[in-house]
Copies of this chain bind each other. A is one copy, B any other.
């Protein structure tokens, strides 16, 4: 699991006084981006090589609302690798270590034309040793 720090922005709050529910998916993206960079395969580099990771599925469970200016800890890991897909898991904790949100996303591993790329598959194989079972 790789840990990122997320400071809740004022823009991310809504009038209920907590972070808006779609913002957690934006944070998940920061988590998987940080994870990929940490594993030596920054996402910006992948895209330059023509490999895209469009989202196939996303889900989140919300335990409590994140507050403005709160410093969250977001853990991200590779949950599963399929034939041409990758699944990430996420866990967000508050400043006191309490669980704020959990979630997951699944992504296709394709080229700009929507087709499976050999170099995408080779790349997926390199990530396979990093799969973690955390739930």
Is A25 in the interface zone, CB < 8 Å from B? Answer: yes
Q: How many copies does the complex hold?
A: 4
Instruction: Tell me, rounded to whole Å, the shortest Cβ–Cβ distance linking A28 to chain B.
Output: 9
Interface size on A, residues (CB 8 A): 37
Which secondary structure dominates where chain A touches chain B? mixed
Q: Which residue of B lies closest to A56 (CB)?
A: B62
Please name all residues of chain B whose beta carbon is closer than 8 Å to the beta carbon of A65 when the two chains form the complex.
Answer: 54
Could you tell me which residues of chain A, from 6 to 20, have a CB within 8 Å of some CB in chain B?
A: 7, 9-11, 13-18, 20
Q: Which residues of B contact A62 (CB under 8 A)?
A: 54-58
A44-75 near B? 1/0 per residue, CB < 8 Å: 10010000101111111110010011000000
